[in-house]
Amino acid sequence: MHTRPNVLTIAGFDPSGGAGILADIKTMEQLQTYGMSVITANTIQTEDKFQANHWIHPEHILEQLALLLEQYSFAAIKIGIIQSTSLLYQLIGKIRKKLPQVPIVWDPVLSASAGFAFHKQLHQQELESVLRHITLVTPNIPEAKALFGNQELTNVAQAWGCAILLKGGHTHGQLVVDKLFQAEQVVEISHPRIGLQKHGTGCVLSSAIAAALAHGETLAAACQKGQNYVSNYIASSDSMLGFHQIKKEISL
């Protein structure tokens, strides 16, 4: 009998498997959920080289989503690279019409780790409309600057009802400190800095958080378990591509 909660990833395809939907599905599988996907882009890349990005036509993306929503129910949804905030708003509208309460985690991938920029500009009004309907956005420090400028993140969370997990990987020090901004509080999640680089950590983190939310974890607990999973992923190999493995403290 199928007993695992379904989790949907709406993201791009990375042939190396280090990021995008392949990394998302690996993560979801390890965390005892059943991952399904909608492809938004085909990228030509490896873990350290990025040659090109080819967007899937918006109608095809919406068709993929419509069929999955018609046949399956989802306990959480993760969103990665999307061609525009307008398309993102359309996708979220379709999701909310069918699943008004489902947790939605948005990993706002604005550029590839190899330097390719996916977005030249963001439309602020559309962005604010998106934030009203998602559960969590997971930017790193440069992405938060691009999304929110100099706004206080607590104020953003309060104004739009969307929690923000500000990732601390771009800072220095022995600890990486991530900050979860919610309307009512700020929670710090710290973990030892691991002296290794990995491709796709943002994808893995957002998928791990979505999986934990699908199992009924609180947002703070899901973020903590997600960071534990990513720490294990970073430490799993010396290369830019990591292995997905579970340790007792993050099993769900």
35 within some domain: yes
149 within some domain: yes
Please give the Cα distance from 49 to 179 (Å, whole number): 30
pLDDT at 129: 87
pLDDT at 202: 93
90 within some domain: yes
Query: Quick one: tokens of 203?
Result: 């994808």
Q: Does residue 216 come out as left (phi exceeding 0), alpha (psi in the -120 to 50 range) or beta?
A: left
pLDDT at 22: 97
Residue 27: count of CB within 10 angstroms of its CB: 29
1 within some domain: no
139-180 residue pLDDT tens: 999 889 888 888 999 999 999 999 999 998 666 667 888 999
pLDDT at 114: 47
157 within some domain: yes
Nearest to 139 by CA among 181, 90, 198: 181
* Number of structural domains found in the chain: 1
The range of the structural domain enclosing residue 152 comes to 6-250
Which amino acid type is present at position 224? Q
Sites in the chain below the pLDDT cut of 70: 1-2, 111-123, 169-173, 247-252
DSSP β-bridge partners for residue 111: 117
CATH number of the CATH domain containing 63 = 3.40.1190.20
222-236 residue pLDDT tens: 999 999 999 999 988
Query: Quick one: tokens of 73?
Result: 């129910």
178 within some domain: yes
What is the pTM assigned to this prediction? 0.92
187 within some domain: yes
DSSP β-bridge partners for residue 179: 166, 188
